[in-house]
Amino acid sequence: MMTHTAEQSNSLSNPAPGAAMDRKVEKKKAPWWRDKRLLIAIAAVAIAFVGWRAIPASGSTNVDADEIQTGEVTRASFDDYLPVRASVVPATTTLVGVMSGGQVEELFVQDGALVTKGQPLARLANPDLELTVLSQEAQIASQLGGVAGENLGIQRSQVDRAGQVAAAEYDLVRARRDLDIRQQLHDKGFVSDAGVKSYQEEVDYQTQRLAQLRRGRATEAGITATQGKMLDATRARLQSNLAAVRGSLDALTIRAPMAGRLTNFPLQPGQTLAPGDPAGQVDSEGDWKLEADVDEYYLGRVEVGQKATTSDGARLPVSKVLPTVTDGRFRVELTFQQLPKQPLNRGQTLDVRITLGAAKPALIAPVGAWLSEGGSSVFVIDPDGNHARRVSVTLGRRNPRQVEILSGLEPGQRIVTSNLARVKGDTINIR
């Protein structure tokens, strides 16, 4: 019995071979970061969170903070002025035109030369014109000769009529003298009545003859006066035609229309020019004005007479406003009242400040790209700095640094001054 018990005990404490192979073996648990399903779940949550942050709410746009420029609305003095960059141009410019066409035969001056009024600049050759002038001169000279002959005939007729009148006056004087002698003899009884009568008849005849000649002379004088005026008019017209013909020949010489500096004078020997072609221009020397192109925004605000100053203090008013708008700009001319200390040259540029109005207190905001969007609204930044909301505004005057706020904003508010054309909606989420 003891032996059995011992064997039995041994059998319990030492299992038979192969029994351990049937027992379940527990595996070691892996770390959480190696759990693919868990990682996928975490990634999905992260992506969803980022997407939620990236997608703006309806009616808003997310904008990075470093893309935003801001400025403060303040109440301060508004300087109503307009800075422009103006070019120096001659106060007077006169074009040099070609009056009579031809080929450039000779140049007397070069481009850039100082010239005097009437100074020859170039001479043109035109053989056809020269022949025409000679022919016309001959015709006009012949016509003038005819007029002179007619005038001479009138003068001779006047002389003849005067001689006739003088002869009749002499005959009348002689007849009256003879009648006086006969009358004295008749009174003494030496001559009969019949002897006196014939002498009286001679006096009467000569008296009538003289009166008739004088009347004819007066009538002829009126006619010859009219003829003389007509001949004078014809002679004047012919002489004018002759001067014009000769002037067309003289027009082959191109002359300076005024004193100054000759510019844009590109003529070369042999070049053919037609009447009316530009040959250059003469600019006033030492007499200058300024020209500036101004943004069309100021078209209704820039006026003739407004004062302006250059950067070195020279004064000049606005003398002309040309309202034609080209490429969004119009031109303004300014005339010097006081020339700058330094010499000026054509084409030189000067900084000019045009005063549009007196400086007055106003609610102002800084200018910026936000005005390029029309300036009817602006984004106002919330006190927390995380959002900016669109606000309608009414703008007034502006200068390069300030814009006047008439309504929509309050002092102390900060606005977005950068260009936010890409912003959709009325709210900016500043990230």
- CATH assignment of the domain containing 301: 2.40.30.170
User: pLDDT-based confidence at 42, cuts 50/70/90?
Assistant: low
Residues 351 and 364 in one domain: no
Residues 278 and 377 in one domain: no
- 227: burial class by Cβ within 10 Å (0-12, 13-18, 19+)? middle
Looking at this protein, which amino acid is placed at residue 107? L
Q: Provide the phi-psi class of 29: left if phi over 0, else alpha when psi is between -120 and 50, else beta.
A: beta
Q: What is the CB-side half-sphere exposure of residue 222 using CA atoms within 13 A?
A: 5
Number of domains in the chain: 4
Phi first, then psi: what are they for 276, rounded to 5°? 95, -10
The domain of 391 spans 61-79+360-430
Structure tokens at 64: 């990075």
In a domain, 44, yes or no: no
Residues 244 and 392 in one domain: no
Strand 60-63 and strand 427-430: the pairing is parallel
pLDDT score of 1:
36
User: pLDDT-based confidence at 20, cuts 50/70/90?
Assistant: very low
pLDDT score of 398:
84
- Closest of 176, 178, 168, 175 to residue 211, by C-alpha: 168
Least confident of 62-71, 154-163, 325-334, 406-415: 154-163
pLDDT score of 44:
56
Residues 74 and 222 in one domain: no
**Cα distance between residue 391 and residue 405, in whole Å:** 12
Model confidence pLDDT, tens digit, residues 234-247: 767 767 766 766 76
In a domain, 26, yes or no: no
- Closest of 341, 286, 340, 289 to residue 318, by C-alpha: 289
Beta strands in 118-242, from DSSP E residues, in sequence order: 120-125
Pairwise pLDDT comparison (295 vs 45), residue with the higher score:
295
Give the Cβ contact number of residue 17 at 10 Å.
Answer: 7
pLDDT score of 11:
41
Kindly state the average pLDDT of the residues 63-90.
90
Pairwise pLDDT comparison (200 vs 363), residue with the higher score:
363
Least confident of 15-29, 67-81, 337-351: 15-29
Q: Is the per-residue pLDDT at 227 higher than 70?
A: no
**Cα distance between residue 139 and residue 404, in whole Å:** 78
Please name the residue that has the structure tokens 């001067």: 243
Residues of the chain with pLDDT > 70, as a percent, come to 76
pLDDT score of 190:
77
Ordered strands of the 74-78 beta sheet: 74-78, 360-366, 402-407, 394-398
In a domain, 215, yes or no: yes
Q: Is the per-residue pLDDT at 176 higher than 90?
A: no
Q: What is the CB-side half-sphere exposure of residue 338 using CA atoms within 13 A?
A: 9
- CB 398 within 8 Å of CB 405: no
pLDDT score of 29:
54
Q: Is the per-residue pLDDT at 86 higher than 90?
A: yes
Please name the residue that has the structure tokens 């011992």: 6
- CB 50 within 8 Å of CB 368: no
Residues 328 and 349 in one domain: yes
Residues 67 and 86 in one domain: no
In a domain, 271, yes or no: yes
Residues 138 and 86 in one domain: no
**Cα distance between residue 63 and residue 425, in whole Å:** 12
In a domain, 87, yes or no: yes
In a domain, 14, yes or no: no
Structure tokens at 5: 């018990």
pLDDT score of 138:
65
Pairwise pLDDT comparison (373 vs 71), residue with the higher score:
71
Mean pLDDT over all residues of the chain?
Answer: 80
**Cα distance between residue 318 and residue 84, in whole Å:** 12
pLDDT score of 394:
92
Residues 98 and 185 in one domain: no
Max Cα–Cα distance, the chain, nearest Å: 247
Residues 178 and 207 in one domain: yes
Residues 387 and 366 in one domain: yes
CATH number at residue 404: 2.40.420.20
Q: Is the per-residue pLDDT at 75 higher than 90?
A: yes
Residues 262 and 229 in one domain: no
pLDDT score of 54:
46
Residues 321 and 349 in one domain: yes
Please name the residue that has the structure tokens 């003879």: 178
